[in-house]
Chain A
Amino acid sequence: MALRIGCCAPPGKACDNKTGSWRVFLPVVDPETCTLCGNCVLICPETAMEEVEGKIVVDLDYCKGCGLCAEECPTDAIAMELEEK
């Protein structure tokens, strides 16, 4: 990315800026306990949680490991685990 005066960017540029590298903890979803209520998808500030074919998947390019999904999960199906790097 070339520097643009005043830090201007065309739309969608934030998608190029993969911020998953900041993560220390990683959300791990247990498909057995998950009821697919969708609370984690709604609460994720990075829109990194998504339901795909009846399963919650995490987009690790953008998940910063904040743990809001785990806090919000009504069935405690999400565990925040230290990520080995």
Chain B
Amino acid sequence: MLQIMEGSHAVAEAVRLCRPEVVSAYPITPQTHIVERLAEMVADGDLDAEYICVESEFSALSACLGSSAAGSRVYSATSSQGLMLMAEVVFNVAGMRQPIIMSIANRALGAPLSIWNDQQDSLSLRDSGWFQLYGEDVQEMTDQHFIAYKAAERHDVLLPGFVCFDGFILSHTYEPVDIPTQEEIDAYLPKYVPYNMLDAKNPISMGMYATPEYYHEFRYEIDRAMDRCATALSEAGKEFGEMFGRDYSEHIESYRMDDADIAFVALGSLCGTVKDAIDEMRADGIKAGLVKIRTYRPFPKNDIAKALAGVATVAVLEKNISIGSAMKGAVGPEVLHALNGTGISVYSYVTGLGGRDIRKKDIRNIAELAVKGEGDMFYGLREEVL
């Protein structure tokens, strides 16, 4: 049944349905409403979980790591500086192969201080070993929590995951959203069965010291698990589609790509604007299309190469900056690599940092720049303030 809900509250509702046994998070804008609502649910008895109050994000994820090691299904949520404060534990969680799911309400990183949206925070931790999903609207970001738990907890995966969505743009927006029932989710997502767990009767040590003889191979194993994660996410998405009618078996979504000459690549809520801009461009005879990336890690290289095969030019819209890199953004080089040897021109456009609006006319301007071969640049700089 469709209900009008705030994005954050829809996420909290989805998390409740996943039956986490432990929730630990520290409130930070724009993630706060999620964990406030979860704390209410625990206090009211609507969610049978331990809510661990902590004094910082470092402690929040540390508490989650310990709880997960003890065999619980665990949830956390954060944003921006909070994710950076967690960074050390983020790598430990992945290395210890604990399938924790964490929502990231994407927000710009300081300094200068900004509470508004871009995707710098989660993309900065792309190499940590967490898979990363990006939602376009409230429905998609809500559904991705179920899929994330299902894929993460598979014993051939056992990797943690970020479910990312644009802060404020999605977290604070009210949209009609279809929330499944508890019975439906119980049928989709069975109880978590840990592969290893701390147990006084069968003691083990976790996250041991690895000498140079072993460390290399452990990292290789995480990377192999990430490869298998692509299949696991796809299968979990397909099964979700069969049960709920919303299919997430593809890591990307192609929009009007059949005969496109110019393609945009983007992540998250921006894709809605791009789709509208494409419709207008199509009406004017410009053959444009969009490849929306849902799964940034593991990166769906083959899917992207296939979807972009027929185009002449690709414009990657980046709500992040990889400072000092040749292409400026973090997504562009991966797309370029996927298209290596095809002769297709790929350009990155850093745009919408720190919450700057990206409008339909901006998308159109970027298309014009890409066709002219002007790219790998900041788009929309206010020259008068430089």
Contact = CB atoms under 8 A, between A and B. Distances in A.
Interface of A: 1, 3-11, 13-14, 17, 19
Given A13-B205, A13-B208, A8 B214 contact: no
B343 interface: no
Interface stretch (B16-24, B28-36, B93-101, B347-355): B93-101
Contact of B204 (A1, A10, A14, A19): A10
Interface of B: 95-98, 158, 195-196, 203-211, 214, 217-218, 221
A17 to B, nearest CB: 6
Contacts of A11: 203-205
Q: Which DSSP category, helix, strand, loop or mixed, fits chain A's interface?
A: loop
13 contacts: A3-B218, A4-B196, A5-B158, A5-B195, A5-B196, A6-B97, A7-B207, A7-B208, A7-B210, A10-B205, A11-B203, A14-B209, A17-B209
Contacts of B209: 14, 17
Contacts of A9: 204-205, 208
Nearest to A7: B208
A4 B204 CA distance: 11
Given A1-B214, A17-B211, A19-B211, A6 B203 contact: no
Given A6-B196, A8-B205, A10-B204, 17 more contacts: A3-B217, A5-B195, A5-B221, A6-B207, A7-B206, A7-B208, A7-B210, A7-B214, A7-B218, A8-B206, A8-B207, A9-B208, A10-B203, A10-B205, A13-B208, A14-B208, A19-B211
